[in-house]
Amino acid sequence: MKKTHNGIVKQPAGFTLIELVVVIIILAILAIAASSRFIDLRKDAIVSTMVGMESAMQSAATLTYSKAAVAGVERLETTTLDIDGVEVALAYGYPDGTAAGIDLLMNLPEGDWQKRASVYNGAWVYWHGVIDEDAGVAQCYLRYRQATSTTARPVIDVQTSGC
């Protein structure tokens, strides 16, 4: 209790209604700012996963070409090569862009990635399993295009504008 100068005892007032409303508004603003940051983390995670997948594809293509060169088939337009007991389809020594080529080497768990043949001949498309619509519509995909000559490497495109 607090005594005023005229001797009257006054109870502490606590928070006013306006102070409580201001605190609630500040907390709401902070919650909105925090939730938008979590939404960005989802996109960052998908993009990071796709970049990792791109690196894995480049490594698989390079290692396959090395094995094809050792076997002497790196200059053939099409052939197959036994890689760890699996016949992998090749185009100029690199995995071709089909289910019998790059897809066999990637060996992805079901549900993590969706995949299909591309509209481009000799290309295979992957998109993250959390994206419901088709990769081309969503503009969030990774595309592997097979080598087209003895001097060309496979082209791996990553599109993340719609992730």
Q: Model pTM?
A: 0.73
What lies within 8 Å, CB to CB, of 12 at 6+ separation is 2
Q: How crowded is residue 112: how many other Cβ atoms within 10 Å of its Cβ? A: 12
- What tens-digit pLDDT sequence spans the chain (163 residues)? 555 566 666 666 677 888 889 999 999 988 887 776 666 677 888 889 889 999 999 999 999 999 999 999 999 999 999 998 999 999 999 999 999 999 999 888 777 888 888 888 889 888 887 777 766 677 888 999 999 999 999 999 999 888 7
Domain count, the chain: 1
Can you give the residue range of the structural domain that contains 124? 16-159
Has residue 9 been placed in a domain?
Answer: no
- The answer as to whether 155 is a domain residue is yes
CB 76, CB 90: distance < 8 Å: yes
- The CA dihedral of 89, 115, 60, 62, to the nearest 10 degrees, is 70
Q: Is the distance from CB of 98 to CB of 124 less than 8 angstroms?
A: yes
Provide the residue type at 145 as one letter: R
Residue 94 φ/ψ, nearest 5 degrees: -105, 160
